[in-house]
Amino acid sequence: MIPNQWYAIAESKEIKSGKVTPLRRIGEDLVLWRDDMGKLSCMLDLCPHRGAALSRGKLVDGCIECPFHGFRYDAEGQGTFIPANGVNAEVPKVFRVQTYTVREEHGFVWLWYGEKRENYPPLPFYDDLNDSFVYGSVAVHWKSHYTRSIENQLDVSHLPFIHKNTIGRGNRTLVNGPYVTLENDTISVWVDNRTDDGTPPTKPTKMPMPARPPLLIFKFPNIWQNRLGDDFRIVAAFAPIDDENSMVYVRTYQRVKRATRLRWWMAQLTSQFNRVVLREDQRVVETQRPKIAGLDIGERFIPGDRPIALFLIHRRALIQAAEKGISLSAGQEVVAAADAQIDWSVAEDGEIHPNLPYDLLRRSRQTPISNN
Protein backbone atom coordinates (compact mmCIF):
# COMPACT_ATOMS: atom_id res chain seq x y z
CA MET A 1 0.00 0.00 0.00
CA ILE A 2 1.19 3.52 -0.79
CA PRO A 3 0.61 5.80 2.23
CA ASN A 4 -1.19 9.14 1.99
CA GLN A 5 -3.45 8.22 -0.89
CA TRP A 6 -7.16 8.00 -1.61
CA TYR A 7 -8.07 4.41 -2.50
CA ALA A 8 -11.36 3.50 -4.15
CA ILE A 9 -12.44 0.58 -1.94
CA ALA A 10 -16.08 -0.11 -2.81
CA GLU A 11 -19.09 1.05 -4.77
CA SER A 12 -21.34 3.43 -2.83
CA LYS A 13 -24.36 1.26 -3.56
CA GLU A 14 -22.81 -1.58 -1.51
CA ILE A 15 -23.35 0.39 1.69
CA LYS A 16 -27.10 0.41 2.31
CA SER A 17 -28.79 2.79 4.75
CA GLY A 18 -29.88 1.30 8.07
CA LYS A 19 -27.43 -1.61 7.80
CA VAL A 20 -23.93 -2.34 8.97
CA THR A 21 -21.69 -3.58 6.18
CA PRO A 22 -18.55 -5.59 6.96
CA LEU A 23 -15.82 -5.16 4.36
CA ARG A 24 -12.31 -6.56 4.33
CA ARG A 25 -10.01 -3.95 2.75
CA ILE A 26 -6.42 -2.62 3.16
CA GLY A 27 -5.58 -5.77 5.13
CA GLU A 28 -8.13 -4.92 7.86
CA ASP A 29 -11.63 -5.98 8.77
CA LEU A 30 -13.70 -2.82 8.48
CA VAL A 31 -17.32 -1.95 9.11
CA LEU A 32 -19.15 0.73 7.15
CA TRP A 33 -22.48 2.30 7.96
CA ARG A 34 -24.52 5.46 7.36
CA ASP A 35 -25.94 7.84 9.92
CA ASP A 36 -29.52 9.13 9.69
CA MET A 37 -28.43 11.73 7.13
CA GLY A 38 -26.82 9.05 4.96
CA LYS A 39 -23.28 10.16 5.85
CA LEU A 40 -20.83 7.32 5.63
CA SER A 41 -18.68 6.13 8.53
CA CYS A 42 -15.86 3.60 8.31
CA MET A 43 -14.19 1.97 11.32
CA LEU A 44 -12.30 -1.10 12.42
CA ASP A 45 -14.69 -3.99 12.88
CA LEU A 46 -13.44 -4.45 16.42
CA CYS A 47 -15.09 -3.43 19.68
CA PRO A 48 -12.48 -1.96 22.08
CA HIS A 49 -14.29 -3.63 25.01
CA ARG A 50 -13.83 -7.39 24.46
CA GLY A 51 -12.95 -7.50 20.76
CA ALA A 52 -16.27 -8.58 19.25
CA ALA A 53 -17.05 -7.74 15.61
CA LEU A 54 -19.17 -4.58 15.53
CA SER A 55 -20.57 -5.65 12.17
CA ARG A 56 -22.67 -8.27 14.00
CA GLY A 57 -24.38 -5.43 15.85
CA LYS A 58 -27.00 -2.92 14.75
CA LEU A 59 -27.62 0.79 14.32
CA VAL A 60 -29.38 2.61 17.15
CA ASP A 61 -29.96 6.39 17.31
CA GLY A 62 -27.17 7.21 14.84
CA CYS A 63 -24.68 4.94 16.64
CA ILE A 64 -23.38 1.44 16.07
CA GLU A 65 -24.23 -0.95 18.90
CA CYS A 66 -21.95 -3.88 19.70
CA PRO A 67 -23.83 -7.22 19.81
CA PHE A 68 -21.93 -8.45 22.90
CA HIS A 69 -22.62 -6.01 25.76
CA GLY A 70 -24.50 -3.30 23.90
CA PHE A 71 -21.82 -0.57 24.00
CA ARG A 72 -22.58 2.18 21.48
CA TYR A 73 -20.15 4.20 19.35
CA ASP A 74 -20.87 7.30 17.28
CA ALA A 75 -19.74 8.01 13.70
CA GLU A 76 -16.39 9.30 15.01
CA GLY A 77 -15.87 6.03 16.87
CA GLN A 78 -16.30 7.56 20.31
CA GLY A 79 -18.18 5.45 22.88
CA THR A 80 -21.50 7.06 23.85
CA PHE A 81 -23.17 4.47 26.07
CA ILE A 82 -22.12 1.57 28.30
CA PRO A 83 -25.39 -0.10 29.39
CA ALA A 84 -23.81 -1.90 32.38
CA ASN A 85 -22.70 1.49 33.79
CA GLY A 86 -26.16 3.06 33.51
CA VAL A 87 -27.63 5.81 31.35
CA ASN A 88 -26.14 8.62 33.40
CA ALA A 89 -22.56 7.34 33.49
CA GLU A 90 -19.95 9.07 31.40
CA VAL A 91 -18.10 6.92 28.87
CA PRO A 92 -14.31 6.98 29.36
CA LYS A 93 -12.36 8.24 26.33
CA VAL A 94 -10.54 4.91 25.93
CA PHE A 95 -13.73 3.37 24.60
CA ARG A 96 -13.04 4.52 21.12
CA VAL A 97 -13.03 2.60 17.82
CA GLN A 98 -10.38 3.42 15.25
CA THR A 99 -12.00 5.22 12.31
CA TYR A 100 -10.88 5.91 8.74
CA THR A 101 -11.55 9.02 6.68
CA VAL A 102 -13.88 8.13 3.82
CA ARG A 103 -15.57 10.05 1.04
CA GLU A 104 -18.12 9.22 -1.59
CA GLU A 105 -17.84 10.52 -5.10
CA HIS A 106 -18.34 9.18 -8.62
CA GLY A 107 -20.31 6.28 -7.09
CA PHE A 108 -17.22 4.99 -5.26
CA VAL A 109 -16.29 4.90 -1.57
CA TRP A 110 -12.78 6.36 -1.16
CA LEU A 111 -10.65 5.62 1.87
CA TRP A 112 -7.75 7.84 2.94
CA TYR A 113 -4.84 5.52 3.70
CA GLY A 114 -2.61 7.64 5.91
CA GLU A 115 -2.58 10.07 8.82
CA LYS A 116 -5.70 12.13 9.31
CA ARG A 117 -5.35 15.72 8.13
CA GLU A 118 -7.12 19.03 8.19
CA ASN A 119 -7.29 19.14 4.39
CA TYR A 120 -6.97 16.34 1.88
CA PRO A 121 -5.83 16.25 -1.74
CA PRO A 122 -8.47 15.79 -4.45
CA LEU A 123 -9.73 12.33 -5.33
CA PRO A 124 -7.91 10.70 -8.24
CA PHE A 125 -10.60 10.43 -10.90
CA TYR A 126 -11.31 11.55 -14.48
CA ASP A 127 -12.77 15.04 -14.74
CA ASP A 128 -14.34 14.43 -18.12
CA LEU A 129 -16.46 11.52 -16.86
CA ASN A 130 -19.33 13.75 -15.84
CA ASP A 131 -23.12 13.36 -15.70
CA SER A 132 -23.42 13.12 -19.47
CA PHE A 133 -22.22 9.51 -19.13
CA VAL A 134 -24.13 6.52 -17.79
CA TYR A 135 -22.40 3.39 -16.55
CA GLY A 136 -23.02 -0.26 -15.76
CA SER A 137 -20.71 -2.09 -13.38
CA VAL A 138 -19.32 -5.51 -12.59
CA ALA A 139 -17.43 -6.52 -9.42
CA VAL A 140 -15.20 -9.57 -9.25
CA HIS A 141 -13.08 -10.95 -6.43
CA TRP A 142 -9.59 -11.91 -7.58
CA LYS A 143 -7.19 -14.01 -5.54
CA SER A 144 -4.36 -11.64 -6.39
CA HIS A 145 -2.74 -8.65 -4.73
CA TYR A 146 -4.10 -5.40 -6.20
CA THR A 147 -0.68 -4.57 -7.71
CA ARG A 148 -0.88 -7.70 -9.87
CA SER A 149 -4.40 -6.77 -10.95
CA ILE A 150 -3.17 -3.30 -11.96
CA GLU A 151 -0.07 -4.60 -13.74
CA ASN A 152 -2.34 -6.79 -15.82
CA GLN A 153 -4.28 -3.76 -17.08
CA LEU A 154 -1.04 -1.99 -18.06
CA ASP A 155 0.22 -5.08 -19.88
CA VAL A 156 0.07 -4.45 -23.63
CA SER A 157 1.54 -7.76 -24.85
CA HIS A 158 -0.83 -10.27 -23.27
CA LEU A 159 -3.90 -9.64 -25.42
CA PRO A 160 -3.26 -12.07 -28.32
CA PHE A 161 -2.72 -14.86 -25.78
CA ILE A 162 -5.07 -14.51 -22.84
CA HIS A 163 -7.77 -12.79 -24.91
CA LYS A 164 -7.21 -14.70 -28.15
CA ASN A 165 -10.95 -15.05 -28.77
CA THR A 166 -12.19 -11.72 -27.42
CA ILE A 167 -10.34 -8.39 -27.30
CA GLY A 168 -7.06 -9.95 -28.49
CA ARG A 169 -8.25 -11.19 -31.89
CA GLY A 170 -6.10 -10.35 -34.90
CA ASN A 171 -2.79 -11.83 -33.76
CA ARG A 172 -1.19 -8.44 -33.15
CA THR A 173 1.66 -9.90 -31.15
CA LEU A 174 4.32 -7.28 -31.95
CA VAL A 175 4.55 -4.28 -29.61
CA ASN A 176 5.70 -0.93 -31.00
CA GLY A 177 6.90 1.29 -28.16
CA PRO A 178 4.68 1.85 -26.34
CA TYR A 179 4.75 5.60 -25.87
CA VAL A 180 4.19 6.32 -22.18
CA THR A 181 3.96 9.45 -20.06
CA LEU A 182 3.84 10.08 -16.33
CA GLU A 183 2.36 13.31 -15.05
CA ASN A 184 0.65 14.17 -11.79
CA ASP A 185 0.70 10.55 -10.62
CA THR A 186 -1.01 9.54 -13.86
CA ILE A 187 0.44 7.06 -16.35
CA SER A 188 -0.82 7.38 -19.93
CA VAL A 189 -0.16 4.64 -22.48
CA TRP A 190 -0.56 4.81 -26.26
CA VAL A 191 -0.85 1.19 -27.37
CA ASP A 192 0.50 0.42 -30.85
CA ASN A 193 0.54 -3.32 -31.48
CA ARG A 194 0.70 -4.98 -34.89
CA THR A 195 1.14 -8.34 -36.61
CA ASP A 196 4.71 -9.60 -36.89
CA ASP A 197 5.84 -9.11 -40.51
CA GLY A 198 9.49 -9.71 -39.72
CA THR A 199 10.37 -6.04 -39.24
CA PRO A 200 11.51 -5.11 -35.71
CA PRO A 201 9.20 -3.20 -33.40
CA THR A 202 9.74 0.54 -32.99
CA LYS A 203 11.83 1.29 -29.90
CA PRO A 204 9.97 3.03 -27.08
CA THR A 205 12.38 5.98 -27.27
CA LYS A 206 11.84 6.30 -31.03
CA MET A 207 8.06 6.44 -30.88
CA PRO A 208 6.79 9.79 -32.15
CA MET A 209 4.52 11.72 -29.83
CA PRO A 210 1.04 10.51 -30.77
CA ALA A 211 -1.61 12.98 -31.95
CA ARG A 212 -4.47 10.87 -30.59
CA PRO A 213 -5.47 10.58 -26.91
CA PRO A 214 -3.91 7.75 -24.87
CA LEU A 215 -5.73 4.41 -24.79
CA LEU A 216 -4.92 3.61 -21.15
CA ILE A 217 -4.85 6.15 -18.32
CA PHE A 218 -3.90 4.91 -14.84
CA LYS A 219 -4.20 7.14 -11.79
CA PHE A 220 -2.32 6.22 -8.63
CA PRO A 221 -3.02 4.46 -6.45
CA ASN A 222 -5.74 2.25 -8.02
CA ILE A 223 -7.89 3.73 -10.82
CA TRP A 224 -7.64 2.85 -14.51
CA GLN A 225 -9.37 3.90 -17.68
CA ASN A 226 -9.46 2.36 -21.14
CA ARG A 227 -10.42 5.18 -23.47
CA LEU A 228 -12.13 3.30 -26.27
CA GLY A 229 -13.68 6.48 -27.66
CA ASP A 230 -14.88 9.93 -26.70
CA ASP A 231 -18.23 8.47 -25.71
CA PHE A 232 -17.19 4.99 -24.62
CA ARG A 233 -14.81 4.16 -21.75
CA ILE A 234 -14.01 1.26 -19.47
CA VAL A 235 -13.05 2.31 -15.93
CA ALA A 236 -11.70 -0.03 -13.27
CA ALA A 237 -10.88 0.29 -9.59
CA PHE A 238 -8.59 -2.31 -8.00
CA ALA A 239 -9.51 -2.34 -4.34
CA PRO A 240 -6.87 -3.82 -2.01
CA ILE A 241 -8.34 -6.52 0.25
CA ASP A 242 -5.11 -8.01 1.62
CA ASP A 243 -1.81 -9.49 0.42
CA GLU A 244 -3.55 -12.24 -1.53
CA ASN A 245 -6.85 -10.70 -2.63
CA SER A 246 -8.30 -7.74 -4.47
CA MET A 247 -11.70 -6.62 -5.64
CA VAL A 248 -11.89 -5.57 -9.26
CA TYR A 249 -14.68 -3.10 -10.10
CA VAL A 250 -15.18 -2.58 -13.80
CA ARG A 251 -17.55 -0.01 -15.24
CA THR A 252 -18.57 0.72 -18.79
CA TYR A 253 -19.20 4.42 -19.27
CA GLN A 254 -21.13 5.50 -22.34
CA ARG A 255 -22.69 8.59 -23.74
CA VAL A 256 -25.44 7.52 -26.09
CA LYS A 257 -27.99 10.17 -26.93
CA ARG A 258 -30.58 7.70 -28.25
CA ALA A 259 -33.38 5.92 -26.38
CA THR A 260 -32.71 4.76 -22.83
CA ARG A 261 -33.89 1.23 -23.66
CA LEU A 262 -31.02 0.86 -26.13
CA ARG A 263 -28.68 2.33 -23.58
CA TRP A 264 -29.82 -0.22 -21.01
CA TRP A 265 -29.24 -3.11 -23.42
CA MET A 266 -25.81 -1.82 -24.33
CA ALA A 267 -24.90 -1.59 -20.65
CA GLN A 268 -26.05 -5.19 -20.07
CA LEU A 269 -24.18 -6.52 -23.07
CA THR A 270 -20.93 -4.72 -22.32
CA SER A 271 -21.09 -5.76 -18.66
CA GLN A 272 -21.43 -9.41 -19.71
CA PHE A 273 -18.57 -9.01 -22.16
CA ASN A 274 -16.42 -7.41 -19.44
CA ARG A 275 -17.14 -10.38 -17.21
CA VAL A 276 -15.85 -12.78 -19.86
CA VAL A 277 -12.71 -10.72 -20.51
CA LEU A 278 -12.02 -10.33 -16.78
CA ARG A 279 -12.28 -14.06 -16.25
CA GLU A 280 -9.68 -14.60 -18.97
CA ASP A 281 -7.26 -12.33 -17.09
CA GLN A 282 -8.14 -13.70 -13.65
CA ARG A 283 -7.33 -17.31 -14.62
CA VAL A 284 -3.70 -16.38 -15.22
CA VAL A 285 -3.09 -13.42 -12.88
CA GLU A 286 -4.13 -15.48 -9.86
CA THR A 287 -1.27 -17.90 -10.64
CA GLN A 288 1.46 -15.21 -10.48
CA ARG A 289 4.10 -15.66 -7.80
CA PRO A 290 5.13 -13.82 -5.73
CA LYS A 291 1.70 -12.42 -5.00
CA ILE A 292 2.84 -8.79 -4.67
CA ALA A 293 4.35 -7.09 -7.71
CA GLY A 294 7.67 -5.29 -7.34
CA LEU A 295 10.94 -4.28 -8.94
CA ASP A 296 13.15 -6.42 -6.75
CA ILE A 297 11.48 -9.81 -7.02
CA GLY A 298 13.66 -11.22 -9.76
CA GLU A 299 11.23 -10.74 -12.64
CA ARG A 300 12.45 -9.71 -16.09
CA PHE A 301 11.11 -6.94 -18.28
CA ILE A 302 10.90 -6.59 -22.06
CA PRO A 303 10.49 -3.19 -23.78
CA GLY A 304 6.75 -3.75 -24.12
CA ASP A 305 6.56 -3.94 -20.31
CA ARG A 306 7.45 -0.27 -20.07
CA PRO A 307 4.07 0.82 -18.63
CA ILE A 308 4.36 -1.86 -15.93
CA ALA A 309 7.96 -0.87 -15.15
CA LEU A 310 6.91 2.76 -14.84
CA PHE A 311 4.05 1.79 -12.54
CA LEU A 312 6.45 -0.13 -10.28
CA ILE A 313 9.11 2.59 -10.32
CA HIS A 314 6.66 5.33 -9.43
CA ARG A 315 4.90 3.17 -6.86
CA ARG A 316 8.20 2.59 -5.09
CA ALA A 317 9.07 6.29 -5.31
CA LEU A 318 5.70 7.25 -3.79
CA ILE A 319 6.14 4.75 -0.93
CA GLN A 320 9.66 5.95 -0.20
CA ALA A 321 8.67 9.61 -0.43
CA ALA A 322 5.81 8.99 2.02
CA GLU A 323 8.21 7.25 4.41
CA LYS A 324 10.52 10.27 4.26
CA GLY A 325 7.62 12.65 4.82
CA ILE A 326 7.86 14.39 1.47
CA SER A 327 5.40 14.45 -1.41
CA LEU A 328 6.81 13.44 -4.75
CA SER A 329 5.40 15.44 -7.60
CA ALA A 330 7.04 13.41 -10.30
CA GLY A 331 6.21 14.18 -13.85
CA GLN A 332 7.49 13.56 -17.31
CA GLU A 333 11.02 14.14 -15.99
CA VAL A 334 10.91 10.75 -14.28
CA VAL A 335 10.29 9.03 -17.58
CA ALA A 336 13.00 11.14 -19.19
CA ALA A 337 15.37 10.25 -16.36
CA ALA A 338 14.52 6.60 -16.76
CA ASP A 339 15.08 6.79 -20.48
CA ALA A 340 18.42 8.49 -19.97
CA GLN A 341 19.50 5.72 -17.64
CA ILE A 342 18.26 2.76 -19.63
CA ASP A 343 17.92 1.98 -23.26
CA TRP A 344 14.50 0.51 -22.78
CA SER A 345 14.57 -1.42 -26.02
CA VAL A 346 18.10 -2.64 -26.70
CA ALA A 347 19.75 -3.68 -23.48
CA GLU A 348 22.52 -6.05 -24.51
CA ASP A 349 20.91 -9.02 -22.89
CA GLY A 350 17.61 -8.26 -24.59
CA GLU A 351 15.92 -7.06 -21.43
CA ILE A 352 15.22 -3.73 -19.87
CA HIS A 353 16.35 -2.98 -16.36
CA PRO A 354 13.99 -0.52 -14.76
CA ASN A 355 15.44 -0.94 -11.30
CA LEU A 356 16.29 2.71 -10.91
CA PRO A 357 17.98 3.97 -7.77
CA TYR A 358 15.73 6.22 -5.76
CA ASP A 359 18.31 9.01 -6.03
CA LEU A 360 17.51 9.36 -9.69
CA LEU A 361 13.86 9.86 -8.87
CA ARG A 362 14.78 12.41 -6.25
CA ARG A 363 15.87 14.74 -9.01
CA SER A 364 12.23 15.25 -9.81
CA ARG A 365 10.48 18.01 -7.97
CA GLN A 366 9.84 17.43 -4.30
CA THR A 367 7.77 19.50 -1.97
CA PRO A 368 7.35 19.07 1.76
CA ILE A 369 3.98 17.67 2.72
CA SER A 370 1.84 20.45 4.06
CA ASN A 371 -1.46 20.14 5.75
CA ASN A 372 -3.36 21.24 2.70
Nearer to Fe ion, 43 or 237 (CB): 237
Contacts of ligand FES in 69-108 (CB under 6 A): 69, 71
Name the segment binding ligand FES (CB under 6 A); options: 48-56, 202-210, 313-321, 331-339.
Answer: 48-56
Supply the minimum distance, in Å, between the C-beta of residue 289 and Fe ion.
Answer: 19
Contact 163, 331 (CB under 8 A): no
Binds 52, which of ligand FES, Fe ion, none (CB < 5 to 8 A, cut-off by type)?
ligand FES
In the complex, what is the shortest distance from the CB of residue 281 to Fe ion, in angstroms, rounded to a whole number? 4
Burial state string for 261-285 with b = 16 or more CB within 10 A and e = fewer than 16: eebeebbeebbeebeebbebbbeeb
Q: Report in angstroms how near the CB of residue 18 gets to ligand FES at its nearest.
A: 21
Q: From the list 26, 44, 52, 347, which residue makes contact with ligand FES (rule: CB under 6 A)?
A: 52
The one-character DSSP state at 212 is: S
Determine contact, residues 145/291, Cβ cutoff 8 Å: yes
For residues 319, 337, 335, 184, the Cα torsion angle rounded to the nearest 10 degrees is 50
Bridge partners, residue 174, by sequence: 194
Closest Cα partner for 306 from 176, 173, 160? 176
**Which one of the spans 47-55, 139-147, 220-228, 280-288 is the region binding ligand FES (CB under 6 A)?**
47-55
- Using CB atoms within 10 Å of the CB of residue 180, give its burial: 0 to 12 exposed, 13 to 18 middle, 19+ buried: buried
Q: How far apart are CA 363 and CA 9, in angstroms?
A: 32
What's the closest the beta carbon of residue 164 comes to ligand FES, in angstroms?
53
Cα–Cα distance list, 309 to 178, 179, 204 (Å):
12, 13, 13
Helix (H, G, I), strand (E, B) or coil at 337: helix
Among 49, 143, 163, 263, binds ligand FES (CB under 6 A): 49
- Please give the Cα distance from 281 to 220 (Å, whole number): 21
CB of 193 to Fe ion, least distance (A): 13
CB of 3 to ligand FES, least distance (A): 30
CA distance 8 to 239: 6
The residues in 274-313 that bind Fe ion, with binding defined as CB under 5 A, are 281
Which among 239, 274, 276 has a CA at the least distance from the CA of 253? 274
Residues 21-60 that bind Fe ion (CB under 5 A): none
Binding partner of 13, given ligand FES, Fe ion, none, CB within 5-8 angstroms per partner class: none
Instruction: Among 66, 277, 321, 334, indicate the residue that binds ligand FES (CB under 6 A).
Output: 66
Judged by beta carbon distances under 5 to 8 A according to partner kind, the member of ligand FES, Fe ion, none in contact with residue 143 is: none
Q: Which is nearer to ligand FES, 72 or 233 (CB)?
A: 72
End-to-end alpha carbon distance in the chain: 22
Scanning 66-74, 170-178, 309-317, 329-337 for contacts with ligand FES by CB under 6 A, the matching segment is: 66-74
Does 40 bind ligand FES (CB under 6 A)? Our answer is no
- By CB under 6 A, the count of residues binding ligand FES is 8
Round to whole Å and give the CA distance between 263 and 268: 9
Give the SS3 label for residue 5. strand
Between CA 142 and CA 147, with CA 146 as vertex, the angle to 5 degrees is 130
Count of residues in contact with Fe ion, rule CB under 5 A: 1
Stretch near ligand FES under the rule CB under 6 A, chosen from 68-76, 202-210, 220-228, 334-342: 68-76
Choices 67-75, 136-144, 173-181, 354-362; region in contact with ligand FES by CB under 6 A: 67-75
- The answer to whether 205 and 343 are in contact (CB under 8 A) is yes
Residues contributing to the site for ligand FES (CB under 6 A) = 47, 49-50, 52, 66, 68-69, 71
Residues contributing to the site for Fe ion (CB under 5 A) = 281
